[in-house]
Structure 1
């Protein structure tokens, strides 16, 4: 029969005099500090076997005393290896503590230890709003109408079934032919999934982030133009991707990509699809210089610069006359291909803010044309840098609510006739220039007016002109549409009196001639050799590493 002890005896027991431990506690040094993190310590959960009792007590304990005895036993386990109990868990007969490898080995050698496992970290799963969403005013405009718009994302693919991305109704196209990029719904890189999250990460689900269009209603079409390693694609891949986006019924394209070389065929594909109603958005580039990146620098494409959380231009963001608008692109947090999240930087991150806002605003005014949406975004952008449009920010930081308010004033009317867009390319051969029109209008261009900068003019669509002297000249094209609306573009051209051909007997390059691999041409005293078939590709502009011409050096 068990006896009950007086309070003094019980107090001695629970002060530790009779704590039932199998191993005696080690003596700790006087200056030992439990608050100092042990070298290379890892936090573990140590569970004891429930049937091991070193001391059988000859008296009956109350439930509270039994619990306290168990707590003491678990705490003594940590003290026995000079560790500190972080959490005592009597409900599972366990204790958590930080242990070095040596301390862990000591516990593993004990017969009363059932298991030792890493104490896994857990993180707050509450939903957060990336700073860019507020900066572009997406939080001020509901996306309840976004189901009538579709954004086509040309990138590394999409992580289908990501818990914070739409999983139903998403369509896509894979790589094809020699550019076999894999399945569009797999993103082994992560870049495309990050872009998609900025555009359309789901809101109100208590996890992760929110996108510009958080309701899950926005249509998405994915074209996987890059493989999982993010390997470069060709301009022709983008031309094909435009076709796929159009066939899928996309209104907006989002292209967080680019390169230095331009292509007349690629330019024309963007111009044609723009004239048919698509709105193209692309990254200005991350070179931190004034060079042009394509497709962003084509006139039919909106070139997007990047800013940081203080609305300052990112150091890496390219700046030039084609930069049209800006958006957050530094330390942007968004979805990643591991079903988690990642914060990265680039004009690639700024681009989906603009394409997302374009779709959001357009969804409220589906009667507007792509040009009218583009004009509204530019007219209401938050001006930064030099007053008005500048090379670093374009018209400024895109503003969703301001654009909505602008269009709510009836700027689109009943659909109307969009203004034309002037565009042209120039080929220089000595003192002679050949101009090629690239302008477009939804109803057609009615008239062309060229100014060559030396007093001469022309009304032809694709004129040529020979200057009397070498120098820099500003060429200006003004186009007029069928109802008298006009648009202009100017470009400085540099003409010389240099060699126009005859480089060791090699014929001068001609914009109208088709060249095959290994064909050689001369232009302005330089010899070039074709890498593959091309036409209308100026060797001075297309002689980079991945371009169609190889620069063979100056003529003798």
Structure 2
């Protein structure tokens, strides 16, 4: 029997949809560009009156106009991945890319007026202007650079920038240890390989990933229906290896985030990704054992495991002991079931409790022990694990539904447009046709839609055709919360959110009244748990090992433990182990003892 493993941070439930025939109905209202909460502009850029100009430079049938988009220049390592980021940004706004000049910070695209207006506020954008004949120009590629603003509190507290950016100028110091040459295997829920921060350390199709849930080589955090999971593995991967100057989408209202995003503790490592957890955060230990072997075969020297089981087993103990004997350092989480009752401690979590595994607990921003972080005599090190900022699923949105001053719990659908809209809430039933909403008006309203068998994308298009500027979808599962749903593909979508049946019943009483729907998001999020502490230690080990590739796993572990910042009684203790991991101090200790 497979033994289940548990994860503290889980994704929301998903349901498979049937796909019946779609009822064809003519649109009664023009569909706006990207649904940012206002009617589309009717203004058009003047163009010359020739057939060629109309075809190339005039608006298309959906109102998209051709433009040239200029971006901030990227340099060094990030220059290779910047074109992918640019195209993804434009397509996320519903744009159609016509040409993409790989050697330039520029692309040609068609954008709706609303999309163009929204894109103009992105920090990556230098300018957007009407399309016109242009000559391509090349770019230079100096040393990788970013900004010290990308150094999160967690990264700084483990001394990572002091290792590879000693003068704090936002440039990786030449020759400094960055983890380069090291492979770190992330055994987790898979990742979102679309994230620009991860395109340097992890490249799809290069043999760096394995999905032990689906049995293929594509370890996306995604189920068979294309619905994304909770982003746990993506968050972990970013703590280890997010790249300087490779920022994803940053909510401009979030003052805690730099426009370039974040950087990982060891930005030079190569990531191996082994997906062993499904989109709900569950898996089997047999898959973990198999993944551990695959990581070794691929040349990983470090296995980062932000997961665990409350059951010990001889098989997995043997597997981790064998990995240790083969030279691999396995690093795992203590668990999140801590309590303050010494007479009733929670069960130990494995593999962290095995002697061949380095066990990691969490501390908060004040280096205090958070109550959830489990205690144990086998605890080795602690690291930041409360409110840690890192990468998450691309376009992960945070929603608000407000009616007459009261906020209701909701969840944005994948690919839904960001922005806010306030309008009258109208009951559109299951939105089975483009005539399903009563008393519609093209100047806008909020559509209240029941979930059914019709795909969400068709429901939204049907109500958009009647003038809807935002959509609330009521989940039909009485035992579920908001659900985790998708519109399937990028497009000119309005803000679309789902709500539980309980919330839906409350909103029914608001029909005919103003309701505000807002969808805002970021490619970054804050998470807590011992799971989040683990990658800080895994990456610190990579920095040490990249400085001295000849070290053994025993030496790496020993230097990390002896150089840790003591936070409790002298020596090892069950709340902090040997203390807070310190990358620079570990390197200094190594240099002193191994000149």
Name the TM-score, length of structure 1 as normaliser: 0.51
Q: Distance in 2 between matches of 1:171 and 1:50?
A: 48
The runs of 5 or more residues in structure 1 that have no matched partner are 1-40, 52-114, 414-556
Aligned to 1:491: none
After superposition, the Cα gap between the structure-2 partners of 1:232 and 1:168, relative to the gap in structure 1 and judged at 3 Å, is closer
Q: Distance in 2 between matches of 1:171 and 1:182?
A: 11
The structural deviation recorded for 1:144 is 4.2
Aligned to 1:224: 275
The structural deviation recorded for 1:159 is 2.1
Alignment of 1:495-514 (within 5 A): none
Aligned to 2:387: 331
Q: Distance in 2 between matches of 1:284 and 1:336?
A: 23
Aligned to 2:210: 174
Q: Distance in 2 between matches of 1:359 and 1:211?
A: 12
Q: Distance in 2 between matches of 1:194 and 1:328?
A: 13
Alignment of 1:298-447 (within 5 A): 298-338=354-394, 340-411=523-594
Cα deviation 1:505-529 (Å, max 9, x = unaligned): xxxxxxxxxxxxxxxxxxxxxxxxx
SS for the counterpart of 2:295 is helix
After superposition, the Cα gap between the structure-2 partners of 1:393 and 1:46, relative to the gap in structure 1 and judged at 3 Å, is same
Q: Distance in 2 between matches of 1:300 and 1:242?
A: 13
SS for the counterpart of 2:320 is helix
Aligned to 1:156: 189
2:251 is equivalent to residue 200 of structure 1: no
Aligned residue among 294, 314, 319 for 1:269? 319
Aligned to 1:297: 353
The structural deviation recorded for 1:123 is 5.9
The structural deviation recorded for 1:43 is 6.5
Q: Distance in 1 between matches of 2:536 and 2:239?
A: 6
The structural deviation recorded for 1:45 is 7.4
2:134 is equivalent to residue 137 of structure 1: no
- How many positions carry a matched residue from both structures? 304
The structural deviation recorded for 1:174 is 3.0
Name the TM-score, length of structure 2 as normaliser: 0.48
The structural deviation recorded for 1:49 is 8.3
Aligned to 1:258: 308
SS for the counterpart of 2:560 is helix
Q: Distance in 2 between matches of 1:116 and 1:224?
A: 41
Cα deviation 1:69-122 (Å, max 9, x = unaligned): xxxxxxxxxxxxxxxxxxxxxxxxxxxxxxxxxxxxxxxxxxxxxx99597484
The structural deviation recorded for 1:288 is 1.6
Cα deviation 1:222-277 (Å, max 9, x = unaligned): 1111122322322x222111110110000000000001100011111111110111
SS for the counterpart of 2:150 is coil
Q: Distance in 2 between matches of 1:171 and 1:392?
A: 39
Would you say the 8 A contact 1:46–1:116 is kept in 2?
yes
After superposition, the Cα gap between the structure-2 partners of 1:171 and 1:307, relative to the gap in structure 1 and judged at 3 Å, is farther
Q: Distance in 2 between matches of 1:401 and 1:395?
A: 16
Q: Distance in 2 between matches of 1:263 and 1:116?
A: 60
The structural deviation recorded for 1:204 is 3.4
Cα deviation 1:108-161 (Å, max 9, x = unaligned): xxxxxxx99597484656862221100000011125462221101101112224
- Larger relative contact order (CA 8 Å, sep ≥ 6): 2
Q: Distance in 2 between matches of 1:382 and 1:50?
A: 62
Aligned to 1:209: 262
Structure number with larger C-alpha Rg: 1
Cα deviation 1:386-405 (Å, max 9, x = unaligned): 22211111000000000000
Cα deviation 1:415-461 (Å, max 9, x = unaligned): xxxxxxxxxxxxxxxxxxxxxxxxxxxxxxxxxxxxxxxxxxxxxxx
Aligned to 1:280: 330
SS for the counterpart of 2:284 is coil
Cα deviation 1:474-519 (Å, max 9, x = unaligned): xxxxxxxxxxxxxxxxxxxxxxxxxxxxxxxxxxxxxxxxxxxxxx
After superposition, the Cα gap between the structure-2 partners of 1:343 and 1:50, relative to the gap in structure 1 and judged at 3 Å, is closer
RMSD (Å), alpha carbons: 2.7
After superposition, the Cα gap between the structure-2 partners of 1:313 and 1:171, relative to the gap in structure 1 and judged at 3 Å, is farther
Cα deviation 1:205-236 (Å, max 9, x = unaligned): 4621100112xx312111111122322322x2
SS for the counterpart of 1:343 is strand
Would you say the 8 A contact 2:186–2:271 is kept in 1?
yes
SS for the counterpart of 2:593 is coil
After superposition, the Cα gap between the structure-2 partners of 1:281 and 1:408, relative to the gap in structure 1 and judged at 3 Å, is same
Q: Distance in 2 between matches of 1:223 and 1:194?
A: 14
Aligned to 1:469: none
Q: Distance in 2 between matches of 1:50 and 1:229?
A: 48
Q: Distance in 2 between matches of 1:50 and 1:375?
A: 66
Q: Distance in 2 between matches of 1:387 and 1:410?
A: 22
Would you say the 8 A contact 2:207–2:217 is kept in 1?
no
After superposition, the Cα gap between the structure-2 partners of 1:50 and 1:220, relative to the gap in structure 1 and judged at 3 Å, is closer
Would you say the 8 A contact 2:240–2:539 is kept in 1?
yes
